[in-house]
Structure 1
Amino acid sequence: MLVIEGLTRRFGDKEAVSHVDLEIGEGAFIGVIGRSGAGKSTLLRMINRLQDPSAGRILYNGRDVTALKGRALREWRAEAAMIFQQFNLVGRLDVLTNVLMGRLATVPAWRALTKSWRPEDRAIALSALDQFDIAPLAAQRADSLSGGQQQRVAIARALAQEPALILADEPIASLDPRNTKIVMDALLRINKHFGITVLCNLHSLDLARTYCDRLVGMAQGRVVFDGAPQALTEQVAHDLYGLEAGEVMDMPAAAKPAFGSAIPEGAALA
């Protein structure tokens, strides 16, 4: 159970996140929605402790995440894996090495520096790539891949961390509709197949309704909606997005796949 109590982040006089209270159960798929600047990214970065809260605290299964330091903090960042909009891969390195970076919290630094990875770490990384039908790309440079392929590598790297929680910060913002569906299907598969909790910042309300079990709507740093997707009416959307509501609701929702379904044939070549 992830519990967020009074979480606040100030930048000067501005509160990017203001007194957020949330409880998130194991295995949930949560969509965090709201217009740009609503505080969604800051919220996820604080949960991962990439940014420190100005006030409030984060608890995970009773452990105070906001008090963690040193090795305990590094272990938490592995447990709460981040997926970023811009992939954050090392382009000159091959795909497998990028995924192996997800194992850094579990191995001595010298292994990464000398590329002396243990066989079990390589097996975990290859298995993560295989989950998304991109194991054949393991030897390719990351910067030779398409955007959709790079994001799936980033998801595989997160999966290689063996996390309890995945925090996806606008993971489809730079992708076309086909790759958007492939990436969202991959996140859904992780959630349903492995039981990993997913918090995903999304701009499209239709995608949020399609994939998420629960939606958390933010405006001006505060949570203004928290409920089931079907409870998010057009009026609530207008309250969240104002004049932008029509833009974020105009993407046709894809049929939600069964969690055991495979990545579409040919997806690895996207």
Structure 2
Amino acid sequence: MLVVDNLTRRYGARHAVDGVSLRIEPGSFVGVIGRSGAGKSTLLRMINRLADPTGGRILYDGIDVTGLKGAALRGWRARCAMIFQQFNLVGRLDVMTNVLMGRLHQVPSYRSLLKLWPEEDRALALAALESFDMGGFAASRADQLSGGQQQRVAIARALVQEPEIILADEPVASLDPRNTRLVMDALAHANRAYGITVLCNLHSLDLARAYCDRLVGLSAGRVVFDGRGFDLTEDVARTLYGLEAGEVMDRAPPEPLPGRVPARAAEALSA
């Protein structure tokens, strides 16, 4: 279990995250919602230790993540993969090599520099790409792909780390509606098929309701809502979204692409 205990991050006098406490069950799909500047990205970056907390603790299965350094910290980042809004792929390299970078923690540096990847790792990377309909692009340069394709490659790269947690920081912010659904379906697949815990920052409440088992709403760095999407009241939505609240409360959840079922709907069908 991932435990965030009174986590705080200050920048001067401003609190980006202010005393956040959460318990995240293994295998859950949690959406972190709120406006830009609410503290969503800072929270995920602290969990991954890309930013250090000013106060509080992060615990995972009894390990104090906030105290990790050196090899232990690199090991945590391998177990807790990060997906960014801007993909963070190396554009001049082919898709397969970008995905194999998720195995860097398992391979000696000289082998990765010389591209002497083990055959097992290549098979794992190709399987990850195939699971997101990207196997045919393995030899393509990453910068030749669309935004949605690049983000699916980034998810495949995270998957080959064999993580226990995926942190997705606004993964669909720059995508069109079709690619948004493809990327969210890819995250839902990683969650359902492999039991990976997913924490996903989202601005859109309709997306969060469609894909997430649980929503955590942040406003000014504080948790103002923690529950299921349809329990979120209009008053809380106003706190989260301000003048945008009416719009996000009125919109229906998006339909999944044909042949793909969001996590919550899949659970209902299997019940």
Structure 2-normalised TM-score?
A: 0.93
Matched, 1:167 2:167: yes
Tell me the alpha carbon deviations over residues 53-80 of structure 1, each in whole angstroms, 9 at most, x when there is no partner.
Answer: 1111100011111111111111111111
Show the counterpart of 2:4. Answer: 4
Show the counterpart of 1:226. Answer: 226
Show the counterpart of 2:215. Answer: 215
Q: Is the 8 A contact 1:4 1:57 kept in 2?
A: yes
CA distance in 1: counterparts of 2:54 and 2:240, whole angstroms: 25
Q: 1:133, CA displacement in angstroms?
A: 1.0
Matched, 1:113 2:116: no
Q: 1:230, CA displacement in angstroms?
A: 1.3
Q: Is the 8 A contact 1:8 1:15 kept in 2?
A: yes
Show the counterpart of 2:92. Answer: 92
Tell me the alpha carbon deviations over residues 125-147 of structure 1, each in whole angstroms, 9 at most, x when there is no partner.
Answer: 11110110111100000000011
CA distance in 1: counterparts of 2:49 and 2:247, whole angstroms: 32
Q: Secondary structure of the residue that 1:15 maps to in structure 2?
A: strand
- Taking the TM superposition and a 5 Å limit, the aligned residue runs for 1:182-197 are 182-197=182-197
Stretches of structure 2 lacking an aligned partner (at least 5 in a row): 264-271
CA distance in 1: counterparts of 2:202 and 2:140, whole angstroms: 30
Query: Aligned in 2, Cα 1:252/1:147: closer, same or farther, shift over 3 Å?
Result: farther
Which segment drifts farther, 231-240 or 35-44? 231-240
Q: Which amino acid aligns with 2:13?
A: D
Matched, 1:125 2:120: no
Q: Is the 8 A contact 2:210 2:262 kept in 1?
A: no
Q: Which amino acid aligns with 2:148?
A: G
Show the counterpart of 2:63. Answer: 63
Show the counterpart of 1:34. Answer: 34
CA distance in 1: counterparts of 2:170 and 2:244, whole angstroms: 17
Show the counterpart of 2:241. Answer: 241
Q: Is the 8 A contact 1:83 1:166 kept in 2?
A: yes
Show the counterpart of 2:261. Answer: 258
Show the counterpart of 2:149. Answer: 149
CA distance in 2: counterparts of 1:251 and 1:176, whole angstroms: 17
Residue-pair matches, total = 260
Q: Is the 8 A contact 1:203 1:248 kept in 2?
A: no
Show the counterpart of 2:14. Answer: 14
Q: 1:248, CA displacement in angstroms?
A: 3.7
Which segment drifts farther, 36-45 or 250-259? 250-259
Q: Which amino acid aligns with 2:98?
A: N
Tell me the alpha carbon deviations over residues 118-164 of structure 1, each in whole angstroms, 9 at most, x when there is no partner.
Answer: 11111111111011011110000000001110000000000011000
Which segment drifts farther, 22-31 or 244-253? 244-253
Q: Is the 8 A contact 1:193 1:259 kept in 2?
A: no
Output the aligned Cα RMSD. Answer: 1.3
CA distance in 2: counterparts of 1:123 and 1:60, whole angstroms: 30
Q: Is the 8 A contact 1:31 1:199 kept in 2?
A: yes
Q: Is the 8 A contact 1:84 1:169 kept in 2?
A: yes
Q: Secondary structure of the residue that 2:37 maps to in structure 1?
A: coil
Show the counterpart of 2:139. Answer: 139
Which segment drifts farther, 169-178 or 235-244? 235-244
CA distance in 1: counterparts of 2:122 and 2:205, whole angstroms: 38
Q: Secondary structure of the residue that 2:51 maps to in structure 1?
A: coil
Q: Which amino acid aligns with 1:258?
A: V
Q: Is the 8 A contact 2:224 2:236 kept in 1?
A: no
Q: Secondary structure of the residue that 2:158 maps to in structure 1?
A: helix
Tell me the alpha carbon deviations over residues 199-243 of structure 1, each in whole angstroms, 9 at most, x when there is no partner.
Answer: 000011011001000000000011111011111122211121111
- Taking the TM superposition and a 5 Å limit, the aligned residue runs for 1:172-183 are 172-183=172-183
Q: Which amino acid aligns with 1:128?
A: A
Q: Secondary structure of the residue that 1:18 maps to in structure 2?
A: strand
Query: Aligned in 2, Cα 1:100/1:251: closer, same or farther, shift over 3 Å?
Result: farther
Query: Aligned in 2, Cα 1:230/1:250: closer, same or farther, shift over 3 Å?
Result: closer
Q: Is the 8 A contact 2:234 2:249 kept in 1?
A: no
Q: Secondary structure of the residue that 1:43 maps to in structure 2?
A: helix
Show the counterpart of 2:81. Answer: 81
Structure 1-normalised TM-score?
A: 0.93
Q: Is the 8 A contact 1:204 1:251 kept in 2?
A: no
Show the counterpart of 2:268. Answer: none
